[in-house]
Each structure stands twice: as C-alpha cells, then as structure tokens.
C-alpha cells in the first residue's frame, strides 16, 4: 500500500483519541495541525504545525505548503473548517454545505422531514415566550438542546411548562468544559423520542453508505442525557434493520459523501427516528469497541477515504465489547480514581483510564456536563460474558475526593 500524506486538523485528548491517531498513522503519513505543542502525539506524526486550526488563512497556508493527499478531522468543533479546507485544496472532501446541514440540528431536522425520513416535530426559539408557544404546539414532553453543540451538553427533557424556563436557560447557556458554545443562536425544541437509543458509525465512499459499528447506548441523569456506556454490537431487535436503512437514506438526503460518520437514533413507539448525524468519527471510544469486538477499523477507514483510497470495511471479529463511563455520585473535587485490584485481576479488561488531574472539580448535570472521571473498556466472547465483566469492573471503582458541598 502506497503511503499518502494526510493533514490531520486537531488530535483531541489522549484518553479518548489516541487509538484513532494510532490507527490513522498506520495507513498514512500524518501531518498534524494543532493549537498546542505535541506530546503523546509525537510517535504517530511525521510533521507538525503549531497554529490555531480555526484560523482559516493560516490553516490554508500550511495546507498549501504541505500539499497533502487529503485532510481530516475527528474534532466536532473543526468539521466545518476542515471541509472548507478540503474544497479549497481540491482533495477528496465532504461538501461543506452538507457538513453545515448536519451541524445545525434544526437544518437536519428540516432536511429529514422533507425527505420523509421519520419526521420529528421541532421549532427554534430565541426567547422563553417563543419556546413556551413552540412546546405547547409540539406537545409535552419536549427536548431542548443547543443547535450546534455535541456530547449531549445542555440537552434536557421538559415534561411541562413550569420546567421550561430553567431548561431553556440550560440549553441556551450551555458550554463544553473548554468553554466552547454553540455557534448557532437559538434553542432547538423538539418532540421527545421514546424508546431505546443506538448509534451507527458508517463509512460513505463514492455515494455508498455502509453502517459498520452499531452500538447500544445507555443514558442517565434524567432529565438530562449523559452517555453512561455503549455495547458493540447491538443485540438483534425488531426495527433495528429498518432504522439502519433510514440512516443510510438520511446520509443521501443530507448530501454526505467521502467521510466516516456517527449517527444517533431511537427505536420509538412510532418507528425509528434519527436524533442527529455527526460528520466525524464517533466519540466515546465506540470505534475502538468496533475494532475490539468486530475487527472493524473505522479510524483507518476515515484516513483512507480522506486521501481518496477505497477503504477496507471488512471485519472478522465475533466478540462483544463495552465501555462504561465512570461518574461520581455527587459534585466532587477529585483526588484519585482507581480500581480496587490490579488490572490483570479483571478478565477481559482492555483498559481502565482515569484522566482527570488531582484537584479537578466535577459537577453533575445541570451544573456541569460530561462529568466523567474515568472509563473502562471490556471485551468478551459473547454479550453475557462481556456485560458480566463490565459489571465486575464497575463494582470495583474507587473514587477518592472531597464533596464540593463540604468545601
């Protein structure tokens, strides 16, 4: 396989993205553009440019000097500038308009409704009075969310009008831990989708979309939607095949091509409904679960697609893999997170990672989102064995720290 040059825009955090950078570097020579000096990334890259990746002029200058065969990002905040960069360079890329369509959750809702793909009642509100009227028209319960923010940050279910004011403020003022806010004003209000939640990581190559890794999702901290864990592959269930066919059709309707995506959906009482399409490699180590359980290399496929090479979408695994996100029971200043025993005492434990520096203050929703302090990935020969192993690890997690209520 000939080595091609890939300009990677942003590398993400080591705990959640090192597996991806490692897999990508096996397929291509990586030139990294990053707003900070590299550390853990060094073994995986052939070159590096320390610039603000959101500075379009500097990014284009670096890219033209490097003359890569393709560009790629798996950073949610950088998908639009990376698509624009690909178009400017004339390398394989996703249509920037399609990327914007998916980034704007209201625009995607309108697109799917027009295509007749599981329409969901929705509205965009810029003030509480408009939100109140929209919610009444849609019918409670409703879900409020920022129009362009990931990780379920600021997403909240509202069961009645008296809860709306606080929920609107939560969605309107939501920001990620690094301070990132929605780039689009207004709050999306949509009907609540009942039923179990799933995700499908897909590869789209030359107009053909293939779902590769289908995960069951567990959410918690109601009325919020923190992602607590995932299991790959999803167990067979009525309606799942119909949902995956809808996911494929939604990619075509949205105009997506030449990329790897992460789509979230629910099997509702009215049939499958898409929640959102993320135009990047999935988060939460779901692609790693796919590699561990099924032998599917989504990260490698994303690199191949980016440089215009047909991706290898095969997988020969028959196991099951799962991840558990570890949360404290209350707002906490974290000192240490560990397992009660050594790593090798837990059968099937692929990795246990505690990633917060000592002294970090963690707040649960709605005071904070993505309030994880660690994660555990386990594998097994079948579903029962995998989930049993995950429960054993979860039971042995020790979180040391001081409750913020006591400070």
Tens digits of residue pLDDT in 370-404: 999 999 999 999 999 999 999 999 999 999 999 99
CB 45 within 8 A of CB 32: yes
CB 394 within 8 A of CB 386: no
Q: Cα dihedral sign for 318, 384, 398, 227?
A: positive
pLDDT band at 2 (very low <50, low <70, confident <90, very high): confident
For the cut 80, the answer to whether the pLDDT of residue 236 exceeds it is yes
Residue range(s) occupied by CATH 3.40.50.20 in the chain: 5-100
| CA dist., res. 17 & res. 12, Å (int) | 6
Q: Of 44-53, 109-118, 165-174, which range is least confident?
A: 165-174
Structure token pair of residue 368: 């904070």
pLDDT on residue 174: 84
Average pLDDT along the chain: 95
Cα distances from 193 to residues 141, 333, 367, in angstroms, run 9, 35, 24
CA atoms within 13 A on the CB side of 351: 15
Structure token pair of residue 84: 């624009």
pLDDT on residue 151: 81
Q: Would you state the torsion angle of the CA atoms of residues 22, 23, 25, 31, taken in this order, to the nearest 10 degrees?
A: -80
| CA dist., res. 105 & res. 184, Å (int) | 10
Q: Would you state the torsion angle of the CA atoms of residues 343, 344, 347, 351, taken in this order, to the nearest 10 degrees?
A: 40
| CA dist., res. 42 & res. 70, Å (int) | 20
The runs of H, that is alpha helices, within 71-182 are 79-89, 96-103, 105-114, 128-138, 164-172
In CATH, the architecture of 320-407 is: Alpha-Beta Complex (3.90)
Question: Which CATH number does the domain 121-191 belong to among 3.30.870.10, 3.30.1490.20, 3.30.360.10, 3.40.50.2300?
Answer: 3.30.1490.20
CATH number for the domain running over 5-100:
3.40.50.20
Name the strand (E) or helix (H) holding 21: helix 14-27
In this prediction, residues 89-99 reach a mean pLDDT of: 97
Q: What is the pTM of this model?
A: 0.95
What contacts 235, CB < 8 A, 6 or more positions away?
216, 383
CA 95 to chain CA centroid, nearest Å:
20
In this prediction, residues 194-214 reach a mean pLDDT of: 97
Residue range(s) occupied by CATH 3.90.1170.60 in the chain: 320-407
CB 366 within 8 A of CB 170: yes
Residue range(s) occupied by CATH 3.30.1490.20 in the chain: 121-191
């Amino acid at each position: 396989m000939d080595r091609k040059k890939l300009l990677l825009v942003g590398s993400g955090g080591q705990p959640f993205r090192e597996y991806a950078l490692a897999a990508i570097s096996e397929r291509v020579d990586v030139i990294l553009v990053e707003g900070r000096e590299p550390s853990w990334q060094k073994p995986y890259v052939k070159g590096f440019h320390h610039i603000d990746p959101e500075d379009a002029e500097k990014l284009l200058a670096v890219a033209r000097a490097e003359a890569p065969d393709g560009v790629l990002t798996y950073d949610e905040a950088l998908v639009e500038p990376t698509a624009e960069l690909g178009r400017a360079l004339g390398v394989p890329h996703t249509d920037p308009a399609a990327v914007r369509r998916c980034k704007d959750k209201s625009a995607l809702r309108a697109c799917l409704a027009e295509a007749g793909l599981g329409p969901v009642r929705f509205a965009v509100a810029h003030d509480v009075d408009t939100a109140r009227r929209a919610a009444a028209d849609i019918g409670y319960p409703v879900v409020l969310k920022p129009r362009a923010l990931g990780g379920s940050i600021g997403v909240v279910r509202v069961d009645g009008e008296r809860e709306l004011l606080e929920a609107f403020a939560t969605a309107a003022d939501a920001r990620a831990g690094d301070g990132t806010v929605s780039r689009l004003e207004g709050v999306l209000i949509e009907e609540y989708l009942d039923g179990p939640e799933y995700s499908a990581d897909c590869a789209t190559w030359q107009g053909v979309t293939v779902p590769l890794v289908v995960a069951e999702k567990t959410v918690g901290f109601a009325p919020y939607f923190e992602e607590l864990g995932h299991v790959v592959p999803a167990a067979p269930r009525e309606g799942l095949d119909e949902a995956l066919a809808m996911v494929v059709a939604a990619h075509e309707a949205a105009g997506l091509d030449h990329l790897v995506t992460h789509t979230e959906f629910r099997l509702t009482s009215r049939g499958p409904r898409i929640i959102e399409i993320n135009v990047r490699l999935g988060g939460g180590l779901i692609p790693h679960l796919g590699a561990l359980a099924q032998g599917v290399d989504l990260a490698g496929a994303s690199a191949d697609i980016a440089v215009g090479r047909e991706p290898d979408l095969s997988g020969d695994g028959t196991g099951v893999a799962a991840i558990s996100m570890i949360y404290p029971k209350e707002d906490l200043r974290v000192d240490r997170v560990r397992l009660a025993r050594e790593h090798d005492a837990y059968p099937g434990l692929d990795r246990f990672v505690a990633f917060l520096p000592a002294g970090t203050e963690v707040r649960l929703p709605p005071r904070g989102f993505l309030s994880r302090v660690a994660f555990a990935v386990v594998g097994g020969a079948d579903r029962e064995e995998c989930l049993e192993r995950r429960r054993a690890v979860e039971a042995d997690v020790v979180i040391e720290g001081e409750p913020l209520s006591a400070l």
